[in-house]
Structures are given as C-alpha cells and as structure tokens.
Amino acid sequence: MKNFIAHTDQTREEILKSISCASIEDLFKQIPVKFKDFAIGNPLSEMDAQKYIKALARNNKTDYACFAGGGVYNKFIPACVNYVAQRFEFLTAYTPYQPEVSQGTLQIIYEYQTMISRLTGMDIANASMYDAGSACAEAVLMAHRIARGKKNKVLISNNLNPQYKEVVKTYCWAQNIPVEWFNELPQSCNDYCCVLIQNPDYYGEIQEIKKPDTLLIVCTDLASLSVIKPPVEADIVVGDIQPLGISMNFGGPHAGFLACKEAYMRQMPGRLVGQTVDTEGNTAYTLTIQTREQHIKREKATSNICSNQSLIALSATLYLSLVGEKGFRQAGILSAANAHKLSAGLASKGFEILNKNFFNEFVIKVNNSDDFLSKLKEKYILGGIKLDNSRVLVCATEMNTDEEINDYINTF
C-alpha cells in the first residue's frame, strides 16, 4: 500500500533535485500551456456541463451501418438482458466456491451449460472460458492430455480466425506441442493428437465436416447453429458466446464456451456446475468439478484457467431464455437472408463473391480494398474487414435493414 501514502517534504525535495528543478512551480513552468488561451467560458454546474457535452457529442457521426464481422457481430440484444444482468445481486454476487451463498449464480451457470450443450449437440459444457481464442487453445491442450503422450503433434486449419491462431500458437509453444497447419485435411491424421477446424471458417465458408481418425475440435459460431446442424461429429466444440446477446464492446470483453463428449469430462478445463439435492431434499447447485491447482493436487490440474465469465454467461442465458428457440432461429434466418441479399446485389454490380456456401459472412474480391472501404465509409457504412489488397470479409446480421443493404450495393 506504499503507493498510496502521500510524499513527504523530504521526498518531494529529493524528486525535484533528481530532475534538476528547484520547486514544483519550476517543474510546471516547463509545460508549454497557456491556460488563458483556452476559450473554455464561464464555470458551469454539473447538470449544465453534461448538457453542453451532449450537445457537442451530437455533432459527431457515430451511427454507422455495420457490415463487419470476423468473430464479433452486431446482434440484436433485448433490453431485458442488460436490465437483469446489471442487477446488484449478479454484479456483486459472491464467488460460487461457497454454494450456500451463491445458489442464484450457480443455477444460472448450470442453465447456461445446459443451453450450450443443446446448441452444440455435445454431452456436457463447462461454466465458460475467457474467450474463443483461449477456448481453442485449452481444447488443444485437453486433446493432448487425452492422448496421454502417445501423440504429440496437433493439426490446425489455416482458415481458423487469425487471433485464435496466435493464442493457440502461444499455448502450444509454452507446452512444447508442435503445431502443423493445413489447407486440405490429409487422408490420415492418426499421427496427431487432434485436428482443429473452424466451421463456418473465418472466411464464412460452411464446410462438410468429416470425422478424422483422431480427436476433432470444431470452433463454431453459435448463431450459425440456428440454421445449420450442430457439429455432432466433433469430440470437442468451442467458440465465442458474443453472438448470444453480448454487446460488441469494441472487441471485448466477451466469453468463450467449451463443450465435449462425456467421456472427456475429466479432462475439461475450468469448472463445472452440477445439480443435486440438499439435506432437506430441495434442488441445489454446486461446483462439481474444479480442475485448477487451487482446488486439486497440482499434478492433476488440467488448466490454469482460474475463473469463468459468469456475468457474460448470465447475459447469454438471459438472451436465449428471452428469444427462445423460435426467436433464435428467426434471428439466424434473417442474418443469412440479409447476407445473401447483399452478396447477390454486389455480384450484380460485377464483384466476385469467393464463397460457395456461407451463413452470414462472405469474402468479396475488389480492385483495391482501401478504396472500396473508404467509399463505403463516406456513406457512413463500415463495409467489412480488409483481408488483403484485393479481398474484403463482409458480414450481415438481423440488425442490417433493407435500406442499409441497398445503400451498400448502390455505393458502386
């Protein structure tokens, strides 16, 4: 706490002497600012200052039509999600280590796990991960543990999200796990402890999943599972829960998910909430599995993940509860319809669409990516993500209106 103790006069003198200043006033003289030149006007009350700042803010153009994706999506969020999630009972909830004082938090996590399992077609899901990148990396380490040293290498698709790639490479480097990358899956993968693919991949392409002769990890977009079948061929399914009612938040914080077949439950990272009964026979919830060093013997720990994103998982659970199965599917259908309408319109303008099958993201070929995106930005449209000088990744969701889509197309 020494950082919070005020400096003594002697300390101030020593500091000033070390920077060749005779006094604090001498220090401030070095700052070339003339406050009298600032036309800041007369003092305002707090209320008037807020009104003045808001009036200035209205001069900014911030309401852009968003067609950028790449792992973070502009999705509709019912107002009730944030209203409930920001209640003090959840924001200040005590750690779920003590179930007797955190039954509400534990029940929410249990419901979240159930929903993720249903969406992915897996037997079991953990209480959430930090993000999709760490979920991918932890799944690779999980598969490596399952192989028990018999297979050391991992095989990963080049079409994985670039940010997830970097996280996986860092984790594997630290664990001395060799990583190999592929464009086309080889006939036999028996030499690898696992194969990691993304479907739909980073470029939006939906691929037919074929189970290799080793453990299969699939990174998926949960929103896409509203219209395409879940990756039941996988052994482990991971991804980000941001599409489930979580704001884009300038890229985070979000949360990852990890689900798997029951046979691999003991190798899951993080924690797992289970349902039981108390001494009076009432339904109760408790942390069933906690695989970090703080709870079990160090040599048996499966991960250094020390927490879960319970508040964000709560928001995702609230979102799915509010929209329901029908609403979730409707949002997916609208996203896909908007994306296909946009791609068809751009194709009619002479642009080449590089995808064969896609959900709500696709890659477009352009003459100059910077010029392409700049023209759209002049129309207050965020046109996508630049992949290189001639390719742009474009996304549409249920939030994009017909007017926005037509404005995008008619810009060219």
Name residues of the chain where pLDDT drops below 50: 1-2
What is the Cα–Cα distance from 332 to 188, expressed in whole angstroms?
A: 35
Q: Are strands 283-290 and 271-277 parallel, antiparallel or unpaired?
A: antiparallel
Token pair of 54, please? 């808001």
Q: Are strands 256-260 and 385-388 parallel, antiparallel or unpaired?
A: unpaired
C-beta of residue 194 within 8 angstroms of C-beta of residue 154: yes
Closest CA to 246 of 169, 321, 163, 315: 315
Query: SS3 of 156, please?
Result: strand
126-161 pLDDT per residue, tens = 999 999 999 999 999 999 999 988 899 999 999 999
For residue 169, count CB atoms less than 10 angstroms from its CB and return exposed for 0-12, middle for 13-18, buried for 19 or more.
middle
What is the Cα–Cα distance from 14 to 62, expressed in whole angstroms?
A: 48
What is the Cα–Cα distance from 66 to 64, expressed in whole angstroms?
A: 6
Give the Cβ contact number of residue 203 at 10 Å: 18
> How high is the pLDDT of residue 294?
57
- Token pair 């401030």: residue: 28
| DSSP 8-state code for residue 163 | H
What is the Cα–Cα distance from 54 to 52, expressed in whole angstroms?
A: 5
C-beta of residue 34 within 8 angstroms of C-beta of residue 375: no
What is the Cα–Cα distance from 151 to 172, expressed in whole angstroms?
A: 14
Q: What is the full DSSP assignment across 277-325?
A: E-TTS-EEEEEEEE-STTTS-GGG---------HHHHHHHHHHHHHHHH
pTM to 2 decimal places: 0.84
b/e map 307-336, b = 16+ CB within 10 Å: ebbbbbbbbbbbbbebbeeeebeebbebbb
Token pair of 283, please? 């339904």
> How high is the pLDDT of residue 104?
86
What is the Cα–Cα distance from 135 to 146, expressed in whole angstroms?
A: 16
CA dihedral sign, ordered 291, 294, 300, 302: positive
Domains of the chain: 65-76+324-410 (3.90.1150.10), 79-318 (3.40.640.10)
> How high is the pLDDT of residue 4?
59
> How high is the pLDDT of residue 2?
47
Q: Is the peptide bond before 200 cis (omega within 30 degrees of 0)?
A: yes
Q: Is the peptide bond before 253 cis (omega within 30 degrees of 0)?
A: yes
Count helices and strands in the chain by DSSP H and E runs = 11, 15
C-beta of residue 370 within 8 angstroms of C-beta of residue 378: no
Residues 6+ apart with CB under 8 A from 40: none
198-257 pLDDT per residue, tens = 999 999 999 999 899 999 999 999 999 999 999 999 999 999 999 999 999 888 889 999
> How high is the pLDDT of residue 89?
80
Q: Over 254-283, what HEC string results?
A: CCEEEEECHHHHHHCCCEEEEEEECCCCCE
